[in-house]
Amino acid sequence: MPAPSKEPGGVRPASAAGLYYPKDADGLRCALETLLGSGGTTAARLPKALVVPHAGYAYSGTVAASAFRTLENVAAASIRHVVLLGPSHRVKMRGLALPSCDYFSTPFGQVRVNDAGRRRLRELGLAGIADAPHALEHSLEVQLPFLQSMLTDFDLLPIAVGLAPPEQVGRALEAVWGGPETLIVVSSDLSHHHTHIEAQALDQQTAKCIVERHSDLSESQACGADSINGLMEVARHRDLEVRLLDRRTSGDTAGDSQRVVGYGSFALYARD
């Protein structure tokens, strides 16, 4: 685990704005309106958890929007806490890292960090404080504008996940699972650097594994495999239903077809 910050508190500034999504609030709002559509259709059920991709909006935004569109439900107004997990791309580490800051910032404003959830995970020995994995991590940040667009008033528990067994991630999720007021979001892309045709076949099999709640995905299948595996541990324990919402590659959206990244969105629901 990287060394903890010596200066707790403060704001984690947006680092992906202007790179992965528009830097100014008006441009970002326009982009999200396009991705999410005009709305007006209420989702039949509110999910407990989502798995969403995290590339630039031009590449994976459409797939991500299919997941966040499930929050177009009157019950979404009850969501007050979002637990957000994603891989640590730039800082290699073991375990789970929480930031020391009080807020995450985007062009839409600041999102308060859930200090009670942070303290609970630390007290249980399931996660530590480390700011380095969060400083430039886009996998968490790119989800925030979507959440700010769909939810009214919520706080955030951002968790950067390094090398961690499914059981550890699952225990952390169970510790902050909560009820209908808590939404779990796992950020992950699928396969990387295959041809479009190869990626389609690989990602189809990975999607099948996720829908069937397997918890043994590898990094070659999904860059957020450790987070997904932990979520699937809980999904089996709680008998959640997993639905595939959308699956594409960057070859379908804004990239060439010879070296693509795969994207998939999934929603997890409590059984009726």
- For 81-106, write each residue's pLDDT tens digit: 999 999 999 999 999 999 999 999 99
% pLDDT > 70, the chain: 95
pLDDT at residue 38 in the model: 52
Q: Where does the pLDDT of residue 29 fall: very low under 50, low under 70, confident under 90, or very high at 90 and above?
A: very high
Which residues have a Cβ under 8 Å from the Cβ of 90 and sit 6 or more positions away?
Answer: 133, 136, 137
pLDDT of residue 67: 97
Reported as a single tens digit per residue, the pLDDT across 178-226 is: 999 999 999 999 999 999 999 999 999 999 999 999 999 999 999 999 9
Give the residue-averaged pLDDT of 18-43: 88
| Per-residue pLDDT band at 2 (split at 50, 70, 90) | very low
Query: What does the pLDDT read at residue 100?
Result: 97
CB 221 within 8 A of CB 190: yes
Q: Maximum Cα–Cα distance for the chain, whole Å?
A: 48
The whole-angstrom separation of Cα 217 and Cα 213 is: 10
The structural domains of the chain, ordered by start, are: 11-269 (3.40.830.10)
Q: Is 264 helix (H, G, I), strand (E, B) or coil?
A: strand
Q: Is the pLDDT of residue 64 over 90?
A: yes
Q: Is 241 helix (H, G, I), strand (E, B) or coil?
A: strand
Report the pLDDT value the prediction gives residue 42, as an integer from 0 to 100.
Answer: 67
Global pTM? 0.94
Is the pLDDT at 36 greater than 50, yes or no?
yes
Give the 3-state secondary structure of residue 161.
strand
pLDDT in tens, 224-244: 999 999 999 999 999 999 999
When the pLDDT of each residue in the chain is averaged and rounded to a whole number, the result is: 94
Distance of CA 171 to the CA centre of its chain: 18
Mean local confidence (pLDDT), 59-70 = 97
